[in-house]
Amino acid sequence: MSKGNHIATAMDWRAATQAEREARAEPLVLPSGATILAARPDPLEWIISGRIPQGLLGVALDDPHSSLARRDRELTREEIIDLAKFAARLVIASVVDPPIGDGPDELPLDEIPLRDRAYIFEWACRGLSGTNGNGAKSESPANNSTEEDLSSDKLEGFRQK
């Protein structure tokens, strides 16, 4: 319900966000044979909110000219930990049904088979890279924008270190 002044409450906003997520969701058959309902993440939202680790941003944006896109070196321990945390957050955010979490009607992340988690992660990453899985650009608003291109060099300093 909105407040008397027609301002949305936090509960209104959460409900609208969940409804939008459910509307975007699609069935996804996992390697284990289980079928879930999943929604690809919005790349621009994840970039602007700082949910993509700084060291992975250049790779996520696939900008070969970025100082962050150093594909010829080994990852540091900190980068590996950041990647693991990012992968878990991305899987949790992508699965709409059954919900993932620690609540009574939720499935704990560590109870999902590793192959299924990896599959969901890879599927979701194709959404973050702006492709729909077959190399074609996705139809997200960020890809159809006439605004200035968001390169990783331009976004590199956006998130505080």
Q: CA–CA distance from 45 to each of 16, 20, 127 (Å)?
A: 16, 14, 12
Q: Which domain holds residue 28?
A: 10-155
Does 3 map to a domain? no
Q: Helices 77-94 and 54-61 meet at what angle, rounded to 10?
A: 60
Which has the higher per-residue pLDDT, 50 or 1? 50
Does 52 map to a domain? yes
Q: How many domains does the chain have?
A: 1
pLDDT tens-place string over residues 97-155: 999 999 999 999 999 999 999 999 999 988 666 555 444 444 433 333 333 444 444 44
Does 160 map to a domain? no
Q: What is the pLDDT of residue 17?
A: 85
Does 20 map to a domain? yes
